[in-house]
Structure 1
Amino acid sequence: QDPFLHLTGPSRAIVCEEPVHVEIKLKVKAGTESEDIALMTRVWYYSGKVSCTLYTPVVGGLCTMVLSSEELHESVQATIVGIRLRVPEETPSLFKNGGRVVCFSLPRKGRPRKGRLPNSTHPLFRQVVLQDGAMTSCSKGYLNLSRHVVSVKLCGTLEVVIHANSQSGAIKGEVSIKAQKCNITQDVCHLGDSELEITVAWSRLVQDKLWISMEGSEEV
């Protein structure tokens, strides 16, 4: 079975000019919330002193959980607005055995050649899972993703890798999307004989609380 717990957030990029506290709660769901069994409650403190960190808390003395993070300097926020099959009718057959959509940021200089993307265990290239397992779509062919927002180095690229499971094995498609300061870009990922259109909205990050307050006062 898949050993990973997949995050559905955050809903925006985290700016860590100040220390960040991540609260971790792991429960076994029961009939009602009051009957849930708490396995672990931890608070992880990130000060931004290192670019890549691993935090390994023990879950109820039964197992361990590894939480990894990476700090991207001079980054922008990429919102995956949608991934759509250009022929919507192909969705049920293409992803009937499930699939996987992941992405990660790469520096533009020294990128690996196509088909040679770095392994997800490499400390500098953490894969962000957008969807894994059952793949469903709406009537217009857009895939339902569990996560939409990632951070990308401004001088780099957003790498999107899509897998579709089949009885004969998984097929994979990948596309490199150049980071932008703003605007919306569209790229095509070829998955076997199918084409998926990927739409990404780019935006700069809010730098500090003072900037927010100043912008808010001007709008009022």
Structure 2
Amino acid sequence: MTKMPSAGHKNNRRWHERFKGDVAAFVVTTTLAGFICSMLFSNCFCTVELSLERLTETVQATILSVRVDEQGPWPFEYGGRIMCSSPPHEVKDPLSKQVVLVDSHSFEGGEMPMGTAGYIDLSWRVVSVKLEDSLQFVIQAYSQSGAIARQSSVTFRTKYCNVSRGICKIGDSVVEITIAWSHIVKHKREIHLEGHV
């Protein structure tokens, strides 16, 4: 088990610890900077990064749908990736700062998972966002070689409740994103005060 320092520790801190899992031994590297904690689990087969951050005064963003307008061309001929971050980060930032909603590289054949009427089947749909912050979506289309051929972004301001819709143009294609915002209840007394969840 990796021992974690208190959340109030503001200095960068890194330490290593070895432990044996069910399959292979891992080396854990943990870095703490403010309230953001990143842990790298690595062995001779792979490296997995787990990033944690404590958020206060948050709302829940549920991505109801991501839909490609069928009147335009399909932008993901060779697959693609859709991710979001809050606060918005440059695309060049490490993926550990992004929440990947879907990546065609994770699917057999590398095709973007698609439902009916242009709707994309997301692997992840719910994220927490600071109430006074914003949520940025980045859409990337891959080339035949698997590199990023095109990308675009759209940013949403958070809401205490209600639904937001935004348009993201990638090449000649139009992608519509619909989000439902909801308050995260911390205490039972909040339910009594508002009369509902």
Identity within the alignment, %? 36
Match of 1:79 among 47, 51, 62: 62
How far is the alpha carbon of 1:163 from its aligned partner? 0.5
1:198 aligns with 2:180: no
Q: Distance in 2 between matches of 1:41 and 1:147?
A: 29
Aligned to 2:10: none
The one-letter code sitting in structure 2 at the alignment partner of 1:131 is V
Q: CA deviation at 1:89?
A: 7.0
Q: Which residue matches 1:120?
A: 93
2:86 aligns to what SS in structure 1? strand
User: Which is richer in strand?
Assistant: 2
Structure 2 alignment gaps of length 5 or more: 1-20, 27-32, 105-110
Q: Is the 8 A contact 1:74 1:154 kept in 2?
A: yes
1:173-188 alignment runs, 5 A limit: 173-188=152-167
SS of 1:65 mapped into structure 2: strand
Q: 1:121 to 1:140 in 2, by over 3 A?
A: same
How many aligned positions are there?
162
**Two-structure CA RMSD over aligned residues (Å):** 3.3
2:85 alignment partner in structure 1 = 104
Residues in 1 aligned to 2:171 and 2:46: alpha-carbon distance in whole angstroms: 39
Aligned residue runs from structure 1 range 106-185, under 5 A:
106=87, 117=90, 119-121=92-94, 126-133=97-104, 134-167=111-144, 170-185=149-164
C-alpha separation in 2, matches of 1:56 and 1:167: 31
Structure 1 stretch displaced more, 168-177 or 82-91: 82-91
1:153 CA displacement:
1.4
Counterpart position of 1:90: 73
Residue identity matched to 1:67: L
**The one of 28, 31, 38 aligned to 1:54:** 38
Measure the CA separation in 2 of the matches of 1:139 and 1:89.
Answer: 15
Q: How does 1:55-70 map to 2 (within 5 A)?
A: 55-59=39-43, 62-70=45-53
- With the length of structure 1 as denominator, give the TM-score of the two structures: 0.63
Aligned-pair CA distance for 1:120: 2.8
Q: List runs of 5+ in structure 1 lacking aligned partners.
A: 1-36, 43-48
